[in-house]
Structure 1
Amino acid sequence: MRFLFFGLLALLCLPLQAQSWQERLAQPPAGSQVALYVQPLGQGQLQVAHNADLLLPPASTQKLFTALAAELALGDDFRFDTALEGLGHQQGNSWQGDLRLRFSGAPDLDRPQLVSLLRALKDKGITRIQGDLLLDGSAFGGYERGPGWPWDNLAVCYSAPASSLTLDHNCVAASLSLENQGTRFYVPPHQPVSVTSKVAAVSLEEQQRRQCGLMVDRGPANHYHLHGCVTDQRRLWPLNFAVNDTGAYVQGVLDQELGRQGLRLSGKIRRQDRAKGQWQPLAVLHSKPLGKLLAHMLADSDNLYADNIAKTLGRQSGLAGTFALGARAVRTTLKDKAGITLAPATLVDGSGLSRDNLVSARDLGAVLAFLAAHTELASYQGLPLAGISGTLKYRHSLTSPPLKGNVQAKSGTLNGSSNLAGYFTAASGQRYLFALMTFGLAPGSDEEAAQRQLTDFERELLNALYQAG
């Protein structure tokens, strides 16, 4: 009996055997659908195609399609140009006629760069403009927000309008602070926006009882009205507003900067596309090369960059870039230049922000396979590294060995969706591509518990794949 007792005790003290990937895959987060596609990139034996053809929202993993198509169609050295042009002639320190700024949707254009174009006038000795300053945004057409973008998120910066008139990421930083049992809103005075606020600070219990939150109404000419409530557990709430009227925003910035630069404009700043006449080039700004723009887009999952780049792909047809033309250009380019046919997938924007996008894990796998064979591309090199960089730096499922520093992937998160698509090196030393898509996530009444369940599922499944590969 003594030997039997110690034998049982020894068995109880052994660590529990880790679940296989099949067992973990069979236990997805409650109510969700999971698609998993895993393929070896060398001599590995692990291959998985679980719901691999199921069409699900890609969220930001869609940026893989946009990045690769842009790189193949435009080349890493492609740059966006923002040009200052004149119709008329210089007479002394005066420009006799109109000037125009011709925008191209450069996603990295900022206020200092715009000021440098104005200073180019002063370098030519021009301090007076006897005419109008025209804003030409004809590079893009159609809507500035994509089909299927949630209406209640349009005031936040990850839904910033994809416009040819892009400046400072079409985003304004502000803050809401708690003062004397009330709230005070602050927006930097140099920002040409107006905000009214009627926000109550309440206890967490009161917020839960009233089911109230912070709400933003968007008005014309970049006016915002804040209302609703915030909890009194924080003293400062950083806020970022997406520009609502891109033309009015650029006009407001230019109005300020003309005065600061000592340039007098006799006419108006106004939007006019494709104004006729013999326009003379006066100055031009170049964006960073496409390769660097893509590296930022993938690392930070920047929606504005992705949508402006997709619209620029659509411009190659000779028409003004739109979401529809951009999505078609992505599909056509991938088919013609990479042999990747996205069917019956649905693409409607470049960022993956739209709920109307639908792709399969196998589609993502096809792009990953092409990138793995062309690792010199920025679309491959720009992928974040688990626990180290970009959107994967703090992804809780990937911050511990053996996944930390091992998984190189693009993440994608929308309400109800959580995706990962990239690469890992297994315990065997073999390299694999994988696409993991989880859809139908519902936080219910306990959002933290639901997030923990998703994190545990993702970590344990990827660890099991690591061991099996």
Structure 2
Amino acid sequence: MISKGISRRQILGGLLAGAAFSASPGFAEAPARSPRPVPRGGQTPALAATSAEALIAEAKLGAAAVASYVVMDAATGTVLEQREAQVAMPPASVAKAVTALYALTRLGPDFRFRTRVLATGPVVAGVVQGDILLVGSGDPTLQTDQLGDLAAGLAARGVRSATGRFLTWDRALPPVLRISDEQPVQVGYNPSISGLNLNFNRVHFEWKRANDGWSTAMDARGTRFVPAVRMARMQVVARETPVFTYQTADAADDWTVAAGALGKGGSRWLPVRHPAVYVGEVFQTLAKAQGITLSAPQPLQAEPSGQELAAVDSEALTEILRDMLRFSTNITAEAVGLRASGAADLAGSGAAMSDWARATYGVGCRFVDHSGLGSASRVTAQDMAQIIHQARASGLQPLLRDMGLRDAKGKEIANHPTRVTAKSGTLNFVSALAGHIRPPQGRELIFAIFLGDTARRDALPEAERESPPGGAAWLGRARHLQWQLLARWSQSYV
């Protein structure tokens, strides 16, 4: 096994926080009223005397918006306060908390994905007498640097070439072209999924001004390796909109981008729609750097077999899930959910998790995927709180993000004695938050908050879905409301 040269948290932090195509709009709309000041000493203002209805009205989420929540005693499950608790709402990424529970139950906390290089014949004088196979198990966390280490491991075995083909096998998971058909074509958080994944199935697109127009590059960059990519191609077109178009041809991703949107230069990650081709090409390039000559990758349909020459394992499932919940990586949720269910497609896998949640927790959730990206998933606040309450001994809470209460600007209040461990979720005009409120003393609380204006979301044209007008301001008000409710409950019921 080849050890990882860089921690996945470093990769995740850099990759997911990488430069976007354009900065997201700030909270441009003015708040409904002046935010309450935060007293000195890091304490939250007194909200216990303010009704939840007044806070919801202040947030001005829209006449058609639903504000649904439940707060209960963590020890007994007694509901202390609720509002619209039985209204089924899109859970957004809060669904990943259920996916984590599902994966832990079905796969176990020590489960690891393994990516292997196999040979169908012996190695004679550095030449494999047969085919070389790159075999995936669905690892959603595999990065270019680890793939480079895998190529180095092959070179360490003395391999320099093969008499046969270079084959890739990606059937450990069913192919998923995109998680959700509702999302704009260019968003990197809606990639394809297969048994071979790399860099969250995203390719790095960079552009710069050049004498004759624009210089562009597509690569699969890691920390130590930056291999160029040929299967993803970009053409700059003289237009203002749409910003991107996409077509697929001969297992390649063909993109165009509007010259009017490029500014002076920049970069962003784009989704990959042919993951096995992408991984195979990058591995071929990295192997060449190690002095190994491989033919162009070809897909293998049959179950692979052969002698293992090199392999790289993922971290244990608990660490994968911890990062998934912290960074809200959609591809990770879908890969672990698909692996846990063994279903033939994503819809069937979501249904299998729904059935499991119903049988395990007695709830009526409906999941169309494992990440919450599909807006057709539905969960009530009552059911989400019940899942968290019944799962207290499951090991989920230590995987959730731990934070203090937040002030009117959304900043965590330093050294606040009350802690919140929770998972958040966001879609356009949908915001969700669920988890635990843990005071320094007194009783622990469990909560679930679902806020959404689904009619406004559903009315968005595709061109506005990546950054809808008013969306960032709505989200800011929704998140502020959530933290006001948490502060109120921590003062009222602890």
Does the alignment pair 1:366 with 2:386? yes
Q: Return the alpha-carbon distance in structure 1 between the equivalents of residues 212 and 481 of structure 2.
A: 42
Q: How many residues align?
A: 425
Does the alignment pair 1:290 with 2:317? yes
| Shift in CA distance, 427/52, structure 1 to aligned 2, threshold 3 Å | farther
Does the alignment pair 1:194 with 2:207? no
Q: Return the alpha-carbon distance in structure 2 between the equivalents of residues 263 and 53 of structure 1.
A: 60
Does the alignment pair 1:462 with 2:486? yes
Q: Return the alpha-carbon distance in structure 1 between the equivalents of residues 471 and 296 of structure 2.
A: 51
**Is the contact between residue 35 and residue 438 of structure 1 (CA under 8 Å) also seen in structure 2?**
yes
Q: Return the alpha-carbon distance in structure 1 between the equivalents of residues 233 and 350 of structure 2.
A: 35
Q: Return the alpha-carbon distance in structure 1 between the equivalents of residues 440 and 314 of structure 2.
A: 42
Instruction: Pick from 116, 123, 126 the counterpart of residue 156 of structure 2.
Output: 123
| Shift in CA distance, 244/355, structure 1 to aligned 2, threshold 3 Å | same
The more displaced of 129-138 and 323-332 is: 323-332
SS of the residue 2:361 aligns to = coil
Q: Return the alpha-carbon distance in structure 2 between the equivalents of residues 401 and 279 of structure 1.
A: 55
Aligned counterparts, 1:217-256, within 5 A: 217-220=246-249, 221-227=252-258, 229-230=260-261, 235-256=264-285
The more displaced of 394-403 and 106-115 is: 394-403
Q: Return the alpha-carbon distance in structure 1 between the equivalents of residues 474 and 211 of structure 2.
A: 36
The more displaced of 50-59 and 404-413 is: 404-413
| Shift in CA distance, 268/342, structure 1 to aligned 2, threshold 3 Å | same
Aligned counterparts, 1:42-57, within 5 A: 42=75, 47-57=80-90
Does the alignment pair 1:163 with 2:194? yes
Identity of aligned residues (%): 24
**Is the contact between residue 397 and residue 458 of structure 1 (CA under 8 Å) also seen in structure 2?**
no
The amino acid across from 1:56 in the alignment is M
Q: Return the alpha-carbon distance in structure 1 between the equivalents of residues 247 and 352 of structure 2.
A: 32
Q: Return the alpha-carbon distance in structure 2 between the equivalents of residues 49 and 238 of structure 1.
A: 45
Normalized against structure 1, the TM-score is what?
0.80
Does the alignment pair 1:65 with 2:98? yes
| Shift in CA distance, 66/186, structure 1 to aligned 2, threshold 3 Å | same
Structure 1 residue 106, shift from structure 2 partner? 0.5
Q: Return the alpha-carbon distance in structure 1 between the equivalents of residues 415 and 291 of structure 2.
A: 59
**Is the contact between residue 36 and residue 49 of structure 1 (CA under 8 Å) also seen in structure 2?**
yes
Instruction: Pick from 322, 333, 338 the counterpart of residue 345 of structure 2.
Output: 322
Q: Return the alpha-carbon distance in structure 1 between the equivalents of residues 361 and 78 of structure 2.
A: 24
Does the alignment pair 1:136 with 2:177? no
**Is the contact between residue 73 and residue 313 of structure 1 (CA under 8 Å) also seen in structure 2?**
yes
**Is the contact between residue 160 and residue 243 of structure 1 (CA under 8 Å) also seen in structure 2?**
yes
Q: 1:340 aligns to what?
A: 361
The more displaced of 114-123 and 52-61 is: 114-123
Does the alignment pair 1:450 with 2:474? yes
SS of the residue 2:403 aligns to = coil
Q: 1:206 aligns to what?
A: none
| Shift in CA distance, 16/138, structure 1 to aligned 2, threshold 3 Å | closer
Q: State the Cα deviation string for residues 196-239 of structure 1 (Å, max 9, x = none).
A: 12367xxxxxxxxx8x563343443122211164386xx55431
Structure 1 residue 108, shift from structure 2 partner? 1.4
| Shift in CA distance, 181/262, structure 1 to aligned 2, threshold 3 Å | closer
Q: State the Cα deviation string for residues 58-90 of structure 1 (Å, max 9, x = none).
A: 100000110011111211100011122221222
Q: 1:383 aligns to what?
A: 400
Instruction: Pick from 297, 300, 308 the counterpart of residue 335 of structure 2.
Output: 308
Does the alignment pair 1:150 with 2:150? no
Q: 1:440 aligns to what?
A: 453
Q: Which is helix-richer, 1 or 2?
A: 1
Q: Return the alpha-carbon distance in structure 1 between the equivalents of residues 279 and 75 of structure 2.
A: 51
**Is the contact between residue 131 and residue 268 of structure 1 (CA under 8 Å) also seen in structure 2?**
no
**Is the contact between residue 430 and residue 475 of structure 2 (CA under 8 Å) also seen in structure 1?**
no
The amino acid across from 2:181 in the alignment is W
The amino acid across from 1:164 in the alignment is G
Structure 1 residue 99, shift from structure 2 partner? 1.7
Q: Return the alpha-carbon distance in structure 1 between the equivalents of residues 96 and 256 of structure 2.
A: 32
Structure 1 residue 275, shift from structure 2 partner? 4.9
Q: 2:31 aligns to what?
A: none
The amino acid across from 2:268 in the alignment is L
Does the alignment pair 1:270 with 2:298? yes
Q: Return the alpha-carbon distance in structure 2 between the equivalents of residues 74 and 132 of structure 1.
A: 33
**Is the contact between residue 313 and residue 329 of structure 1 (CA under 8 Å) also seen in structure 2?**
no
The more displaced of 459-468 and 89-98 is: 459-468
Normalized against structure 2, the TM-score is what?
0.76
Structure 1 residue 371, shift from structure 2 partner? 3.3
Structure 1 residue 135, shift from structure 2 partner? 0.5
Structure 1 residue 335, shift from structure 2 partner? 4.8
Unaligned runs of 5+ in 1: 1-14, 201-209
Structure 1 residue 461, shift from structure 2 partner? 2.8
Q: 2:51 aligns to what?
A: 20
Q: 1:95 aligns to what?
A: 128
The more displaced of 127-136 and 109-118 is: 109-118
The amino acid across from 2:62 in the alignment is A
The amino acid across from 1:30 in the alignment is G
